[in-house]
Amino acid sequence: MNPGSQHTEPKRRGRRAGGEDTKAALLAAAREVFVERGYEGATVRSIAARAGVDAAMVNHWFGGKEGLFAKAVLQLPIDPNTLVEHLLDGPDEAIGERIVRTFLTVWDPIGGGPFAAMVRSVTSHGQVADVLRGFFVNTLLRRIVAHLDAPDRDLRATLVASQIVGMGMVRYVVRFEPLASADVDTLVKAIAPNVQRYLTGDLG
């Protein structure tokens, strides 16, 4: 039937019709694939295929796989200053709850994408461990514990990080049930008191 119209035509070259934004399509596809496969596992060809464009576009628009990863994943979706202000806005006794709820409500709508992408790339991409450390510890937690008058501030910051990172791992990366599908409120009630203890409780 319709002989000759079955085979897929080679795509026409040259500029796209109009309105289509190759750069944005690549960024969106890159976020998906980097989240699923990590830096090494995500191939330029697979990202380009999902975006519906040629792999050479990655070099043209981002200067290579490295630049695409930097733009798509390493760039944080939220302004850290706003985040810190929001976390510090309220009584000290409820800061644990604000931390847990904030991370869950920021990550849940996107399935923990950026977090999962970083964890999945922590081996293959040297920058990633540094970015994780810089964001979690230096940018967020150190500035939060600085406002508390408790001893062992740095240890408290990394203890909080251990619980938040662990929550992200279990919920978004390895998906242990029932935690992976639990309500935000349930998790806040369960986890927040522990985070609170790390921040203001007695550690020894």
Binding site for DNA (CB under 7 A): 10-18, 20, 22-23, 42-46, 52-61, 64-66
The radius of gyration computed from the CA coordinates of the chain, to the nearest angstrom, equals 21
Fill in the DSSP letter of residue 76. Answer: -
Q: Which CB atom, from 57 or from 159, has the smaller least distance to DNA?
A: 57
How would you class 47 by CB atoms within 10 Å of its CB: exposed for 0-12, middle for 13-18, buried for 19 or more?
buried
Q: Any idea which residue has 């251990």 for tokens? A: 162
Q: Which CB atom, from 81 or from 123, has the smaller least distance to its own copies?
A: 123
Which residues lie closer than 8 Å to 48 by C-beta, 6 or more apart?
Answer: 26, 29, 54, 55, 57, 58
Q: Which CB atom, from 5 or from 82, has the smaller least distance to DNA?
A: 5
Identify residues 132-171 at the interface with its own copies (CB under 8 A). 132-133, 136-137, 154-155, 158-159, 161-167, 169-171
Identify residues 79-118 at the interface with its own copies (CB under 8 A). none
49 binding partner (options its own copies, DNA, none; Cβ < 5 to 8 Å by kind): none
203 binding partner (options DNA, its own copies, none; Cβ < 5 to 8 Å by kind): its own copies
Could you tell me how far CA 157 lies from the centroid of its own chain? Answer: 20
7 binding partner (options DNA, its own copies, none; Cβ < 5 to 8 Å by kind): none
63 touches its own copies by CB under 8 A:
no
Q: Do 191 and 101 meet the contact criterion of CB atoms below 8 Å apart?
A: no
Give the C-alpha separation, 195 to 163, whole Å: 7
Q: Which CB atom, from 101 or from 125, has the smaller least distance to DNA?
A: 125
